[in-house]
A and B are shown apart, each in its own frame.
Chain A
């Protein structure tokens, strides 16, 4: 095996796409992060370590996107995992942060294990580590083996991307990390998983349909599960973390459709699915970073992540509010922003998929489309709730006192400019979707060596032209909004305007506590999906004998259903098993010396015998 060869650094178009996205987000995260960490009591040493690790993570990502060798890919992957882990545990003195970080560290390494296993399998056949030897390896596999090999990779990359059931580290790590790290993690680090699946999926020659069906089902379930949990959430960074799971689901749905289409030989649809997935990757990265930055500003000003204590923040943090709103509309896939275009493409591919000859596949497409429609609706519920409860109305808890820094509530320039800087990207995706997508088409076309006939090329270019008419439709929407706003303004100019308290239906003393809370907003939804949202209620019911009930508290603890159902029993089992060996570690120095002696002896014996 040559460790250094010309394949160590060769960048594909797809690599360039991810490199540019990562670089943009990392630069903005650094600008924002400097402002954000100013609000922490930090020592120079901590900051050095933090930014050093951030840089390490960046180096790792550049490595993995630019290499064509499995070995160096793993090295880059590992650097990224290590760097991001150390960035997450910035406040390691808090037990909950450390626990979340360890959770992330362990789970991401289970993922690495799967990826390494798949790579070693390939190496054991060809004896080489370069990507261009993978086709050779694939040609020795049967169809089932190909699917198994790829599923190992999907599993491994799924741990990073947050596909269910490999997602459970995400809702812990995102709230624990500082906001700029959450933004970078959710925006681009998670996307390394997407890169992996798209990159290595291109080597499959058979069984893509089976793989596609599995990926699509996992993806749709992730999207639904993610958004339902997000809609019910109370900690706003946890909400955003679950929303990441949802969007990763949407991205993988595009990839799944593409694989199915590839297996069926429908090249055009395969392209559209992949482009939709990559475009959504871009959109999600931008909007999620905006959301995390804006949410970070709220956190810095109020020191709480509990939305039920907030309210009315739009008045004191106008910039963060409007940016959060833009990103919320965008990430919910509503016009007039880019999220709509990628979701529209995905709907388009589901509609085309409905024409599949095989009935089960066609049904799968209909149901996925319908599920995506539910996800869209739930996402609207989630973000109207999150935005509405944090930024609108009046403050719900008097103990939350936003503090002023230099006459502003945590809206220093270096904490708002990075968010504004993303707006040009947002606008250009909406205005020139066809150009953006034809660039993405080149990313896909280079690595997927699908035969490109004139028909297919024509089909793709008409689909991309259609995007331009969506963009026109969006322009009309914006235009009508603007015209009506002007008309309204003209009409209102001569009218008497009065201010008064909110109409309380005759009740004259409305207080802040009367407002609808986030939990009640999503209450009915939580009831419908209660199997996905297990809650433990700690409450002592009032007894009959209690004439004067004493003071009580009620606590609802929500848990991740999948984590509770699979990961925790597994982890408990492992701990239980390992406890049986506790007698080995009894703390006596003499014992440990004997262990060392025995192992040396064994090694020497082994050396003699073999």
Chain B
């Protein structure tokens, strides 16, 4: 169930981000379903492959998409349990996404293009720097609640008294930033500046087309919904009724999308060389959480 909810949220997430940005710029903007139309269009197209590339390039988008799908299965939504869940599943979550990233990176290297190599190098570096923040963050939540799986952590979280609200606020911020980094969005990277050597993720997919491209786009949408779902879980544990939880889920997902849109509209991109410092700040924030918990 929660998998379907996340999937549903992913359909409109990017649409809302784009819409928010358009409104912030004083435009009307495309429909929120536009990203879905684009994916539908791509699904019906053929493909062009580079002569330099091998089968790795062809399987990479599939594996990337699969990894995001499986990661979605690990995340619960409130009382609706996750499809896969066990003690320590958040590490599984991070490593499954890592598996997908591994393939996007080598897929990009397979095209023998300088742009894509550059993008993949950055992707590898930034996701390496994000890892400790994620581990310390969820590890601290685990320390607070005494459990190590997403479902148990989130179910237990709101029983911990007032401190849990303070923690939820910091955790939500860190998770939102991790989400922006993982999706290569604004403070770290600008998805709209193709070919200005600023982009991480967008440039890695320059050579993909057709069905592969559709899968990559949908994977990005789902990743957004996925991290937002983690944020949602920090807040909805205290609500008893399932339908309220679902409503809150959709509401907070919407809110996250709007926030992402606002960040994208009103923030400038950092210099690439400063990104590493920015990401390490997240780690120290997560450490702060740990000390708060301990």
Contact = CB atoms under 8 A, between A and B. Distances in A.
Given A374-B132, A510-B112, A484 B98 contact: no
Interface in B277-292: 283, 287, 290
Interface stretch (A133-141, A259-267, A472-480): A472-480
Given A473-B86, A491-B43, A503-B207, A381 B66 contact: no
A501 interface: yes
A504 interface: yes
Given A380-B128, A394-B112, A473-B89, A485 B62 contact: yes
A470 interface: yes
B101 A370 contact: no
A335 B88 CA distance: 14
Given A335-B92, A354-B143, A384-B109, A502 B50 contact: yes
Interface in A359-380: 359, 362, 366, 369-374, 376-378, 380
A491 B210 CA distance: 10
A371 B66 CA distance: 28
B258 interface: no
B109 A516 contact: yes
B121 A520 contact: yes
Nearest to A388: B109
Contacts of B131: 370, 373-374, 376-377
Interface string A494-514: 011111111111000010101
Contacts of A348: 87-88, 91, 148
Chain A CB count within 10 A is highest, among B56, B118, B287, for B56
Contacts of A355: 143, 146
A339 B211 CA distance: 32
Nearest to A373: B131
Contact of A476 (B70, B101, B146): B70
Chain B CB count within 10 A is highest, among A362, A371, A381, for A381
Contacts of A376: 95, 98, 128, 131
Interface stretch (A47-55, A308-316, A568-576): A308-316
A335 B91 CA distance: 11
Contact of A495 (B73, B112, B211, B287): B211
Majority DSSP secondary structure for residues of B touching A? helix
B276 interface: yes
Interface stretch (B30-38, B134-142, B178-186): B134-142
A515 B117 contact: yes
Interface residues of A, number: 81
Contacts of A372: 135
B114 A393 contact: no
A352 B104 CA distance: 33
Contacts of B59: 485
A205 interface: no
Chain B CB count within 10 A is highest, among A496, A502, A514, for A502
Given A477-B70, A516-B117, A389 B109 contact: yes
A283 B47 CA distance: 39
A496 B46 CA distance: 5
A502 B69 CA distance: 29
A461 to B, nearest CB: 14
A329 B95 CA distance: 11
Contact of A393 (B83, B105, B111): B111
A351 B99 contact: no
Given A333-B95, A470-B86, A502 B290 contact: no
B50 A501 contact: yes
A433 to B, nearest CB: 12
Contacts, number: 251
Interface in B89-110: 89, 91-92, 94-96, 98-99, 101-102, 105-106, 109-110
Nearest to A523: B121
Contacts of B142: 351, 354
B112 A484 contact: no
Contacts of B98: 334, 376-377, 380
Contacts of A343: 95
B121 A466 contact: no
A293 interface: no
A387 interface: yes
B210 A495 contact: yes
Contacts of A481: 62-63, 66
Nearest to A500: B48
Given A351-B148, A374-B131, A502 B47 contact: no
13 contacts: A334-B99, A373-B132, A373-B135, A377-B128, A378-B128, A392-B106, A393-B109, A473-B84, A484-B215, A488-B215, A514-B114, A515-B113, A520-B121
Given A381-B128, A394-B112, A495-B45, 10 more contacts: A334-B95, A334-B102, A369-B139, A388-B120, A466-B87, A469-B84, A502-B50, A514-B112, A520-B118, A522-B121
